[in-house]
Amino acid sequence: MHKFATPLFVSFVLFVGTLAAAPVNTQVIEYKDGDTVLEGFLATPQNSTGPLPAILVVHEWWGLNDYARERATQLAEAGYVAFAVDIYGQGRRSDTYEGAGKLAGEFKNDRLLTRRRGDAALEVLRAQPQVDTNRLAAIGYCFGGMCVLEFARGGAPLAGVVSFHGSLDTPIPAQPGAIHAKVLICHGAADPFVPATDVAAIEQELTAAGADWQLIKYSGAVHSFTSPRAGDDPTKGAAYNPAADHRSWKLMLQFFDEIFGK
């Protein structure tokens, strides 16, 4: 698994094109998957009118933290309802590589559980009064990228999914016709944690499944290229890359324009 230069959170500015940031309301929402209590973070445009397209935001392997909440807030500033989901469960977080690896491993080893946690979060998002339930998508970072690809493979009713520097492999490949979401994968071309064989395999898988997909590679970008928390030394295998961050965020917004309509 990937390693970061520091466990500290870093404040940062996201690029959202020329859109002016709108005021945002936020709240913590407790929900459940079976008997497991989960705790997500909802961000909504403060002065919204009418149903809005809505996005699930899936956290990195650390668990739901400031990074995922900041991304959700930025999406709300851009005019979307955004729900930063909790895959692990209430209070299950880690700031250590060992702890995060164990948490993520539970879900890498049980992809059906991963998909079910996505379904639980989607129910919460669909229930929000501001949400247009016909215009839903999901994005995820690192571990979260793996998750949103699993949501798509499982046939979740999403218009699109976006994986940022996520794991691409799966023990349960999509069956023909199973994927309803359009798929955008933003991948670091120099990412040492995702082998070229995994890139080739998901291209073949998505094609065989009949999915509408794009896989964009960013030159010089390694793992975690959107996260300042990853530091600035690409020789460690994970590092922030401002150019790739900017380009992938802008591409995501263009993708949303396509799948939702401007």
Give the type of residue at 57: V
Asked if the structure places residue 42 within a domain, the reply is yes
Asked if residue 113 has pLDDT above 60, the reply is yes
Domain assignment of residue 242, yes or no: yes
Q: What average pLDDT score do residues 128-133 get?
A: 96
What is the spatial distance between Cα 48 and Cα 151, in angstroms, rounded to a whole number? 28
Mean of pLDDT values over 96-118: 97
Q: How far apart are CA 260 and CA 199, in angstroms?
A: 27
The residue among 262 and 219 whose pLDDT is bigger is 219
- Kindly tell me if the per-residue pLDDT of 16 is higher than 50: no
Q: Is residue 18 part of a domain?
A: no
- Closest residue by Cα to residue 45 from 12, 73, 17: 73
pLDDT at residue 4 is higher than 80: no
- Give a yes or no: residue 89 inside a domain: yes
Strand intervals (E) in the chain: 24-33, 36-45, 52-58, 81-84, 131-141, 160-164, 182-188, 213-218
Say what the pLDDT of residue 131 is: 97
Average pLDDT, the chain: 92
**How far is residue 237's CA from residue 133's CA, in Å, rounded to a whole number?**
39
CA atoms within 13 A on the CB side of 230: 26
Determine phi and psi for 77, rounding to 5 degrees: -60, -30
Report residue 18's pLDDT band, with 50, 70 and 90 as the boundaries.
very low
Q: Is residue 13 part of a domain?
A: no
* Spatial CB neighbours of 18, under 8 Å, sequence gap ≥ 6: none
Amino acid at 153: R
| Residue 50, domain member (yes or no) | yes
pLDDT of residue 154 exceeding 80: yes
Asked whether the beta carbons of 243 and 130 are under 8 A apart, the reply is no
Task: Report the pLDDT value the prediction gives residue 66, as an integer from 0 to 100.
Answer: 96
Chain-centroid distance of CA 13 in Å reads 18
Predicted TM-score (pTM) of this structure:
0.92
Question: Does the structure show a pLDDT above 80 at 15?
Answer: no
Domain CATH number, residue 32: 3.40.50.1820
Q: Total structural domains in the chain?
A: 1
Residue 74 lies in a domain: yes
Q: Report the range of poorest mean pLDDT among 5-19, 73-87, 97-111, 176-190.
A: 5-19
The DSSP secondary-structure symbol of 16 reads -
Q: Nearest to residue 84, comparing CAs of 75, 95, 93, 97?
A: 75
**Is residue 166 a part of any domain in this protein?**
yes
Sign of the alpha-carbon dihedral angle for 70, 21, 147, 133 = positive
- Residue numbers of the domain that contains 216: 24-260
Encoding tokens for residue 48? 């919204």
What is the structure's pLDDT at 20? 53
Phi and psi angles of residue 13, each rounded to the nearest 5 degrees, phi first: -110, 130
How far is CA 30 from each of CA 51, 120, 234, rounded to the nearest angstrom? 23, 11, 37
Which two three-digit tokens encode residue 86? Answer: 């909790």
The whole-number average pLDDT for the span 182-208 is 98
